[in-house]
Structure 1
Amino acid sequence: MDFRTLTLFAHLARTLHFGQTALAMHVTASTLSRVIQRLEDECECTLFVRNNRSVTLTHEGKKLLAFSEQTLQRWQQLQTELNTEKEVLRGEVKMYCSVTASQSHLPKLLSQFRQLHPHVDIRLTTGDPASSTERVLSRQCDIAIAIHTDSYPRELAFSPIDHIPLVLIAPKAFNLSVLADIDWQHHQVILPEQGPSRSVVQTWFQAQSILPQIYASVGGNEAIVSMVALGCGIGFVPKVVLDHSTLASKITQISVDEIPPFQLGLTCLKNRCRHPLINAMLQLALN
């Protein structure tokens, strides 16, 4: 048993999905299976119950998970103490954010961070912003750029960095300029599959007694911009997504005053806020 094995086991115990863990930890699924098999042989017990549909953690697996997290945390603390003694931050920070955030907010943040801590490596993954909090909760990343919501997970800390308006967008060919121009029975709507935007928009529709005609539900705000630009319908997206889109010239923005702006910020697990590498990133957000 070594730290790498415990790390792979702890990740799998959180995701309960061999494919996801193999992808996130940069190993093949067969390698991951062999590691878990050797660990089970070493522990002389079954850690996971596997079938064609699901993976579940056994009672013994839960005990090993608690041991693994404590051991890995103590190892991380020791590494931190050793690095602190050298007065130089070293190590790796795994970050997650949307494609748009990687263009709009991350460059300035990382530029400052690299100047202050040149020996820290940043491993960045981009994807659907709706997955940001889940990525942090499952420890697939150390820190993420996320949107704060009323139902924000209690386990997560949040440091705001910006306010992002949500705007209604329509193809220029529709000749819509104000909210009153929209015939909600005629103009179809493109919604995100999940995340804060979908919840906010659905709440707004209910408050306005509007029953929208849904054309499609898609993953990612960038996809909504693309479909609107193609004339498939209208949709709501954070303004920053449209500002950084190459399709902005084909789209009309319509302000909706009743919808408050989103709060964008850095998020991490509360119990890891004091980790030097994570704390260094959070301090930049505060400043």
Structure 2
Amino acid sequence: MDTRSLSIFLSVAETLSFSRSAESLFMSVSAVSRTISRVEDEVGQVLFQRDRRNVALTHAGTEFREFARRTLADWQQIQRSLDSEGTLSGEVSLYCSVTASHTLLAPILAAFRGTYPSVDIMMHTGDQADGVSRVLAGQDELAVTIRPLQLPQRMAFLPLVDSPLQFCMPALDCAVRDKVVAGLAAGTLDWEDFPLIVPERGTTKDLLDDWLREERIRPRIYAQVAGHEAIVAMVSLGLGVGIAPQLVIEASGPGLGVDIVPTDRGLPGLSIGLAGLRNRLDGPLVSALWGVAGQTYPQSL
């Protein structure tokens, strides 16, 4: 069984979608489906239960996923050890949000490619709140994420930048903006009167919940959303007041049409950085990317 087939299997095992995997791998859906069928034939087991709407790993598929991960990791190790010129080569799996990929990661990856041109970065994007869990589960080796309130002992965290949490409101004329502007003019904001768009999970949600509790505010939640970028997008449509790191608001806010809501009730700051398992930092590939990140953001060292 070739490593390409294993990579395709792992992609489908992660996305649970033949179409999304095909898009990310620049393949047709039929080609992905044929590869999975061929892998199942070789294994002699059904690895995915699938119908027109859903795809799910079978028990055999879950076990084979661990085999595939180990096999690809071993293959990368062999490639490195057989490199006659001693050039670092292989692949590093990295998870981040869309905003992080454009802002924080761009200078890191530019420097990394210049130093280690034979190392490939396998990037996955999504809600940064999933970063820590994906690293702990072995889905990715590193993740750009907000430092959790309780960092697992077996995880290392390299801070890259600090970004305060900010409330944001629609820039367009609407009822939500009118309420906020009127409150600012009167010198008091009635937070219980605003429809709030908040994260559904993650460190930002935990910090917001603590802040609301300390301020004795009983919020009117309009929606709980996965991803800060989605929160900013919904705010721009006039649906409510949202909360997100200033980094995200500045990256997407002007284009989407949101304004920061000033408040005397200070929100906590966030540390955004690189997270990885401590026992993986000794690996040459992960160690190299970790080092370049620290050099790119020297204040993190």
Task: Number of aligned residue pairs: give it.
Answer: 285
Deviation (angstroms), 1:281:
1.1
For 1:80, the equivalent position in structure 2 comes to 80
For 1:274, the equivalent position in structure 2 comes to 282
1:9 partner letter: F
220, 223, 242: which one aligns with 2:249: 242
Moved over 6 A (4+): none
In 1: Cα distance, 2:114 partner to 2:225 partner: 38
1:216 matched to 2:223? The reply is yes
Structure 1 residues 21 and 225: CA distance shift in structure 2, 3 A: closer
1:1-287, aligned counterparts within 5 Å? Answer: 1-13=1-13, 17-50=17-50, 53=54, 55-58=56-59, 60-61=60-61, 63-83=63-83, 85-122=84-121, 124-136=123-135, 141-150=140-149, 156-171=155-170, 174-175=180-181, 176-177=183-184, 181-229=188-236, 231-244=238-251, 245-246=253-254, 251-255=259-263, 259-287=267-295
Q: TM-score, normalised by structure 1?
A: 0.78
Stretch deviating more after TM superposition (167-176 or 156-165): 167-176
Structure 1 residues 263 and 235: CA distance shift in structure 2, 3 A: same
In 1: Cα distance, 2:185 partner to 2:150 partner: 31
In 1: Cα distance, 2:69 partner to 2:122 partner: 22
Structure 1 residues 20 and 151: CA distance shift in structure 2, 3 A: farther
Query: Which runs of 5 or more structure 2 residues have no equivalent in the other structure?
Result: 171-176, 296-301
Deviation (angstroms), 1:124:
4.5
In 2: Cα distance, 1:90 partner to 1:248 partner: 40
Structure 1 residues 259 and 63: CA distance shift in structure 2, 3 A: same
Structure 1 residues 177 and 102: CA distance shift in structure 2, 3 A: farther
1:216 partner letter: A
For 2:174, the equivalent position in structure 1 comes to none
State the secondary structure of the residue aligned to 1:211: coil
1:144 partner letter: A
Deviation (angstroms), 1:55:
2.3
Structure 1 residues 111 and 6: CA distance shift in structure 2, 3 A: closer
In 2: Cα distance, 1:269 partner to 1:218 partner: 28
Q: Deviations over 1:143-182 (max 9, x none)?
A: 3311121355666543221222112234575335599611
Deviation (angstroms), 1:33:
3.2
Deviation (angstroms), 1:26:
4.2
Structure 1 residues 87 and 239: CA distance shift in structure 2, 3 A: same
Structure 1 residues 39 and 220: CA distance shift in structure 2, 3 A: closer
Structure 1 residues 106 and 49: CA distance shift in structure 2, 3 A: closer
State the secondary structure of the residue aligned to 2:192: coil
Q: TM-score, normalised by structure 2?
A: 0.75
Deviation (angstroms), 1:135:
5.0
Deviation (angstroms), 1:11:
4.5
In 2: Cα distance, 1:179 partner to 1:88 partner: 64
